């Protein structure tokens, strides 16, 4: 099974994807690490973040996962790139909780405001619905902890016929 885990920064994508990978015994591919290893994107020193061209990352990841039977791909910008996956998990967090998480990470006020706004308007969910129509989409709140979130995801994957 090929899964995409996406959501706004601070929703727990990396932690949840790693836990899910351990549980399902499959590889986890992080968008930023993958982009850096492939030379996809450029570092913006002003914003202090990697700018990843969607078309190129989509092509590179789809080529990477084409021959794989099970893999989890995780990343924020991937809600905007159509990948060859069986299901998409969108992690959600209440904007106030997200704000606290991003503050704890040391994000600047503008970046916090941008990400909280995106979460508030369902940015990732809307993009996933547009790009993955007909695929299995699972939206999960990740506010109580990774263990509970992981159990919810596993139950939903079973309910949708992706796990036995």
Task: Output the pLDDT for position 117.
Answer: 94
The per-residue pLDDT of the chain, averaged, comes to 93
Assign residue 9 a region: left if phi > 0, alpha if psi is -120 to 50, beta otherwise? beta
Task: Output the pLDDT for position 131.
Answer: 93
Lowest mean pLDDT among 7-16, 83-92, 126-135: 126-135
Task: Output the pLDDT for position 159.
Answer: 92
In a domain, 158, yes or no: no
Task: Output the pLDDT for position 42.
Answer: 84
**Total number of domains in the chain:** 1
In a domain, 127, yes or no: yes
Note down the domain range covering 40: 2-143
pLDDT single digits (tens) 27-52: 999 999 999 999 998 888 887 788 89
In a domain, 150, yes or no: no
Task: Output the pLDDT for position 134.
Answer: 75
In a domain, 130, yes or no: yes
Residue 137 scores a pLDDT above 80 = yes
Task: Give the CB-side neighbour count of residue 115, counting CA atoms within 13 A.
Answer: 25
State the pLDDT confidence band at 69, using cuts at 50, 70 and 90. Answer: very high
In the block, which residue shows the tokens 């990841």? Answer: 61
Task: Output the pLDDT for position 90.
Answer: 97
In a domain, 48, yes or no: yes
CB atoms within 10 A of CB 57: 22
**pTM for the full model?**
0.93
Task: At 44, give phi and psi (nearest 5°).
Answer: -95, 105
In the block, which residue shows the tokens 């990477």? Answer: 64
* CATH number assigned to the domain comprising residue 96: 3.40.50.300
Residue 135 scores a pLDDT above 80 = no
């Amino acid at each position: 099974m090929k899964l995409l885990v996406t959501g706004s920064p601070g929703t727990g994508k990396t932690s949840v994807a790693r836990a899910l990978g351990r549980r399902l015994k499959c590889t986890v591919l992080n968008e930023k690490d993958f982009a850096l290893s492939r030379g996809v994107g450029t570092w913006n020193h002003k914003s202090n973040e990697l700018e990843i061209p969607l078309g190129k990352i989509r092509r590179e990841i789809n080529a990477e996962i084409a021959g794989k039977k099970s893999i989890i791909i995780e990343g924020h910008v991937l809600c905007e790139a159509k990948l060859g996956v069986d299901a998409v998990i969108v992690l959600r967090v209440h904007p106030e909780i997200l704000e606290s998480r991003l503050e704890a990470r040391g994000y600047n006020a503008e970046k916090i405001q941008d990400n909280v706004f995106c979460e508030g308007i369902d940015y990732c969910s809307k993009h996933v619905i547009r790009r993955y129509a007909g695929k299995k989409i699972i939206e999960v709140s990740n506010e109580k902890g990774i263990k509970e979130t992981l159990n919810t995801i596993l139950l939903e994957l079973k309910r949708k016929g992706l796990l036995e």
